[in-house]
Structure 1
Amino acid sequence: MSALVLTGTGVGVGDVAAVARDGRKVEIGPDVIGRLEKARRVLDQAAASGQQIYGLNTGLGANLGTAVEGDAGAFQRQLLEGRSGAVGEGLPVDAVRASMAARAAMLSVGGSGLSSSVFVALLDALNAGVHPVMPSLGSIGAGDLVLMTALARMLTGEGEADYQGRRIPAAKALMMARLAPISLAPKDGLSLINASAVSAGSGALAVTDALTALAQQQHAGALTMEGFGANRTILDPRLHMARPAAGQQEAAKVLHNLLVRDDAPAPTTLQDPLSIRCMSSVHGALIEAIGQARQAVEIELNAAADNPLVLGDDELVLSTGNFHTAALALAFETLGLAIAQCAAASAARFIQLTGSGRNGLPKYLSPVGGASAGFVPLQKTVTSILAAIRHKANPVMLDFLAVSEGVEDHATQTPLAVAKCAGMIALWRWLIAFELMAAAQAVDLRDGFTLAPRTAALHAVIRALVPMLKEDRPLGIDAEALYAALAGGNWPA
C-alpha cells in the first residue's frame, strides 16, 4: 500500500480509514514544511509586534482578557495540563489513529503556526504506532480540545500511550519507538488540540462503514426479493427517471444488477409491501445522506480550522470560529435518520418473510410446520435492535449549556452525533444479518427456484456460514456468524 502524502488538500475518508485500520503510512508533501515555517514566521512576527494572539499571549476561554507573560513554552504545557479533563472509556485505537491522521491533514494546510518539528513528531508517532490513550468523554463539539490534549501530552512524554498492544507511560512508549519527546514553542500546544480532529477522524470511519453496510443492505434486499418472489418491475429504470429523487436511480440500478438474469421469473404479486416496493427510494435517501456526510468530513480534513488562524500569504493572524462544526454535526444527524429509516425497512422485510406465510412461503419459514417456532421468535430480537437504533436516532446537536462564563455559549455536539451514528451502523448490521438469514431460508424453501448469478453467489456465502434451518435450533448463533462476516470485512464486495 502506497503512503498517504499530505499536501494540504485531497485527503478523503478512505485515506483516513486506511491509515487508521490498515496501518497505511503518512508522508509529508514537498511544500508542506515550507508552508508551516512561513506561517510560524508570521505568527512570531505578529507576537513580537505586540499583537494580542489568543492562546499565545492571552489566556483561553473566560481567561481571554488575561495577559500571558514569561516562559511561553511553560504556558503551553500549563494549557495542556489545565485542559486534560476528558474521562471515560478510551477511544478504540482505530479512532485514535483516525484523529491523529485527521489533525495531521488539517495541519498540513498551514494555518496553525505550528512548529514544523512538532508536525514531524506527530507523523513519526502515527507511523510508529504510538497512540495516546484518549478518553472518550469531554468534547461538546466546539473543537475537540479536551479530548485532543491526550495527543499533545503524549508527544511531550506525558500521560499514557498504547504501543504494541500495551498501555504504558508515554515517555516509555516514545523511547521504545526511538522517538524523542517534543518541546513546545508559543502556540504549539493550542495548535495541536484546538480543532475538531476527533469528530472528523471518527466521522471518516463512520462514513466508510456506512458505505460498506449500504452495499451489504443492497445484497440483503435483493436476496429478499428473490425469496419473497417480489415483482421486479419496480426496478425498471424508466420508473426512477420519472421521479429522479436523491440516490433513487443509483439504488435501483444496483438492485437490478444483483437480480439480472436471462429468464426472469414472472412476478407472483401485482404490488409488494412498501418495504420491498419502495426499497430504492429508502436506499437512495441513504446514499444521499452518506454523500453529504462524506463531503462534510472531507471539508474538515482539508481545511485550516484553527483559532487563531495564520494567513501566511497575507501575513495576518486572526481569530476565527472555524473549529465550530455545525454542518458536520447536522450531516451526521441526517445520516443517522437515514440509517434508521433503512434499518426499519430491513426489519419490516424480515417480519414479512417470517410471518404467517405469503407468496407460497411456509409459516415462520419452518419446513416442518406444526408447533415449530421457525424464525418467528427472532422478530422480537429484530424489534429490540430497531428500538435501539431509533433511540440513537434522536438528535443531540441542540443539547448544550453555556460554559466558560458564557464565552462559549453555543456548541454542536459533533463527537456525540458521530459516535451515535457509528453505533447505529453496528446495530443496523445485525438487522442485515437477520434479513440475509431469512431471505436465504425463503430461497431454500422454493422448490425448483433458480437464483440470479449474483444472488446465487450471495446465497452460497451465507450457506458457507450457516446451514438451512430444517428443525428448530438456536438461530442467534447463526446471526452472530453472519454479523462477524459483515462487520469483519469478510463479506464479498
Structure 2
Amino acid sequence: MSPLVLTGAGVSIEDVVAAARNACKVEVMPAVLEKLDKARQVLDAAAAGGQQIYGLNRGLGANLVTAVEGDASAFQRQLIEGRSAAVGEALPVPAVRAAMFARLAMLAAGGSGLSPRVFTALVEALNAGVHPVMPSLGSIGAGDLLLMAAIARVLIGDGEAEYQGRRMPAAKALMMARLAPVALSPKDGLSLINASAVSTGNGALALADALSALDQQQQAGALTMEGIGANRTILDPRQHQARPGACQQLAAKALRDLLARDEAPAPTTIQDPLSIRCMPSIHGALIQAIDHARLAVEIELNAAADNPLVLAEDELVMSTGNFHTASLSLAFETLGLAIAQCAAASAARFVQLTGSTRHGLPKYLSPVGGASAGFVPLQKTVTAILAAIRHKANPVMLDFLPVSEGVEDHATQTPLAVAKCAEMIVLWRRLIAFELMAAAQAVDLREGTTLAPATGAIHAAVRSHVATLKEDRPLGIDAEALYAALVSGIWQGPPATG
C-alpha cells in the first residue's frame, strides 16, 4: 500500500480512512517541516519581543490574563496534565488513529508554531501503531482539548496507550516501539491539543460509511422497485430536469442504471406510494448533505485552525476563533436529518412489501399463506430501529453551558453531532438489510419477473447470505447475517452511485 504523503494541502476523507482503518503509513514532504520550522522561529521571536501569547506566556481560558512564570516548557506539561479531564469508554483504535492523522494534516498546513521534532514524534507514533487510550466524553466542540490531551500525554511518555493489541503505560509502549518521549517547547502542548481533530477525523470515517450505505440503499430501492412492480416513469430524466431538486438527477440516474435493460416491464400501478415514487428526491437530498459534510470536513483537514495562529510569511502571531466548528456541527446535524429521512422511506417500503397485497404479492411475503407470519413480525423491529434513528436525529449543537467563568460562552457540540450521526448510519444500514431481504423475497414470489443485470446481481448477493423464505423461521438471524455482509465489505452488489 502506497504511503500517505503530507504536503500541507489536499487531504481527503479517503486519506483519513486509509490511515485510520488500513494503517497506511504517513510520510512528510520536506517543505512541511521547513514551514513548521519557519513558524516556530516567528513564534519564538514574538515571545522574545514581549508579545503576550495565549498558551505560551499567558494562561488558558479564564486564566488568560495570568502570566506564566518560570519554565515555559514545564507549563506545557502542566497545561496537558491539567486538561486531561475526559472520561468514559475509550474510543476504538480506528477513531484514535483518525484523530491523530487529522491533527497531523492540520498541523502540516502550518500556523501552529509546533516544534518540527514534536510533529515528527506524532508521525512516528502513528506509523508505529502507538495509540493513546482516549476517553470519549469531554469535548463540547470548542476544540477537542480534553480528548486530544490523551495524544499529547502519550508523546511525552505519560498516560496509557494501546500497542500491538495490549493496553499499557505509554512509556512502555513507546519503548517497545523503539520511540522516545518528546520534550515540549513553549506552546507545543497547546498546539497538540487545541484542535477539533477528533471531530474532524471521525467525521471523515462517518462520511465514508454514509457513502457506502448510500450505494447499498440505492441497490435496495432498485430491488424493491423490481419486486413491487413499480412504475418506472418516476426515473424519467425529463421529470428531474423539470424540478432539478438537490442532486435528485444523480439519484434518479443511479436508479435508472441499476434497472437498465433492453425492455422495461409494464408497471403494475399508475403511481406508487411516496416512499417509492419520491426516492430520487429523498436520495438526492442525502447526496447533497453528504457533499456538504465532505466539504466541511475537508476544509478542517487542510486548515490552519490554531489559536494562537502563527502567520509565518507575515511574521505575526494572533488570537483566533478558527478552532470553533459551528459549520462542521451544522453539516452533521443536517446529514443526520437526511439519513433519517432516507431511513424512514426505507422502513416505509419494507412495510409496503410485507403488509399489503395490492401489488399482487402474497400476504406478508409468505409463500404458504394461512396462519404463517412471514415477514410481518419484522415490521416491529423495523419500527423500533426507525424510532432510535429519529431520536438521534434531534439536534444537539445548541446544548451547551457557558464555562470557564463565561470566557467560553459558546460551543458547537461537534463531537456529539458526529457521533450520533455515525450511530444513525449503523442503524440505517440495518434497515437497508431488511429492505433487501423483503425485496428479494418479493422478486422470488412475483411470477414472470426477469431482473435487470444489475438488480439480478443484487438479488444474487442477497441470496448468497439469506435463503428464500419457504416457511416461517427466525428471520432476525438472517437480517444479522445480511447486515454483517453490508458492513464488512464482502457485499458484492454493483455500485449504485457514480
Report if TM-score (shorter chain) is over 0.5: yes
Instruction: For residue 284 of structure 2, give the secondary structure of its aligned residue in structure 1.
Output: helix
Task: Give 1:70 deviation, angstroms.
Answer: 1.0
> 1:471: which partner in 2?
471
| Cα distance in 2, alignment partners of residues 183 and 270 from structure 1 | 73
| Cα distance in 1, alignment partners of residues 69 and 449 from structure 2 | 81
Structure 2 unaligned blocks of 5 or more: none
> 2:356: which partner in 1?
356
Task: Give 1:30 deviation, angstroms.
Answer: 2.7
| Cα distance in 2, alignment partners of residues 490 and 89 from structure 1 | 29
Task: Give 1:278 deviation, angstroms.
Answer: 0.2
One-letter identity of the residue aligned with 2:57: N
- Single out whichever of 1-10 and 193-202 deviates more from structure 2: 1-10
| Cα distance in 1, alignment partners of residues 11 and 30 from structure 2 | 16
> 1:287: which partner in 2?
287
Task: Give 1:23 deviation, angstroms.
Answer: 1.0
> 2:74: which partner in 1?
74
Task: Give 1:147 deviation, angstroms.
Answer: 0.3
Task: Give 1:490 deviation, angstroms.
Answer: 1.4
> 2:407: which partner in 1?
407
- 1:77-105 CA-to-partner distances (Å, cap 9, x unmatched) read 00001000000001111110000000000
After the TM superposition, which residues 304-315 of structure 1 pair with which residues of structure 2 at under 5 Å, given as runs? Answer: 304-315=304-315
| Cα distance in 2, alignment partners of residues 322 and 489 from structure 1 | 37
1:383 aligns with 2:386: no
- Single out whichever of 369-378 and 24-33 deviates more from structure 2: 24-33
> 1:250: which partner in 2?
250
After the TM superposition, which residues 440-455 of structure 1 pair with which residues of structure 2 at under 5 Å, given as runs? Answer: 440-455=440-455
Instruction: For residue 405 of structure 1, give the secondary structure of its aligned residue in structure 2.
Output: coil
> 1:47: which partner in 2?
47
Instruction: For residue 30 of structure 2, give the secondary structure of its aligned residue in structure 1.
Output: coil
> 1:333: which partner in 2?
333
| Cα distance in 1, alignment partners of residues 395 and 200 from structure 2 | 18
Instruction: For residue 65 of structure 2, give the secondary structure of its aligned residue in structure 1.
Output: coil
| Cα distance in 2, alignment partners of residues 339 and 224 from structure 1 | 19
One-letter identity of the residue aligned with 2:467: P
> 2:14: which partner in 1?
14
> 2:88: which partner in 1?
88
After the TM superposition, which residues 72-471 of structure 1 pair with which residues of structure 2 at under 5 Å, given as runs? Answer: 72-471=72-471
Instruction: For residue 105 of structure 2, give the secondary structure of its aligned residue in structure 1.
Output: helix
| Cα distance in 2, alignment partners of residues 139 and 432 from structure 1 | 32
- 1:458-484 CA-to-partner distances (Å, cap 9, x unmatched) read 111110101000000000000000100
> 2:482: which partner in 1?
482
| Cα distance in 1, alignment partners of residues 253 and 263 from structure 2 | 18
Task: Give 1:399 deviation, angstroms.
Answer: 0.2
- 1:142-174 CA-to-partner distances (Å, cap 9, x unmatched) read 000000000000001100001111111111111
| Cα distance in 1, alignment partners of residues 28 and 310 from structure 2 | 20
| Cα distance in 2, alignment partners of residues 33 and 132 from structure 1 | 24
One-letter identity of the residue aligned with 1:352: Q
| Cα distance in 1, alignment partners of residues 180 and 121 from structure 2 | 8
- 1:422-472 CA-to-partner distances (Å, cap 9, x unmatched) read 000000000000000000000000122110011001111110101000000
| Cα distance in 1, alignment partners of residues 40 and 71 from structure 2 | 18
- 1:176-234 CA-to-partner distances (Å, cap 9, x unmatched) read 11111100000000000000000000000011110000000000000000000000111
Structure 1 unaligned blocks of 5 or more: none
| Cα distance in 1, alignment partners of residues 284 and 231 from structure 2 | 19
| Cα distance in 2, alignment partners of residues 491 and 201 from structure 1 | 25
One-letter identity of the residue aligned with 2:380: K
> 2:58: which partner in 1?
58
- 1:25-79 CA-to-partner distances (Å, cap 9, x unmatched) read 1110131010000000000000000100000001100111110021111100000
Task: Give 1:325 deviation, angstroms.
Answer: 0.2
Task: Give 1:19 deviation, angstroms.
Answer: 0.6
Task: Give 1:356 deviation, angstroms.
Answer: 3.0
One-letter identity of the residue aligned with 2:107: L
| Cα distance in 2, alignment partners of residues 115 and 30 from structure 1 | 14
Task: Give 1:337 deviation, angstroms.
Answer: 0.2
| Cα distance in 1, alignment partners of residues 102 and 491 from structure 2 | 28
Runs (4+) of structure 1 exceeding 3 A deviation are none
Task: Give 1:302 deviation, angstroms.
Answer: 0.2
Equivalences, count: 493
One-letter identity of the residue aligned with 2:220: A
> 2:32: which partner in 1?
32
Task: Give 1:410 deviation, angstroms.
Answer: 0.2
| Cα distance in 1, alignment partners of residues 415 and 358 from structure 2 | 44
Task: Give 1:358 deviation, angstroms.
Answer: 2.5
| Cα distance in 2, alignment partners of residues 225 and 146 from structure 1 | 49
- 1:281-309 CA-to-partner distances (Å, cap 9, x unmatched) read 00000000000000000000000010000
One-letter identity of the residue aligned with 1:9: A
One-letter identity of the residue aligned with 1:196: S
| Cα distance in 2, alignment partners of residues 379 and 241 from structure 1 | 36
One-letter identity of the residue aligned with 1:34: E
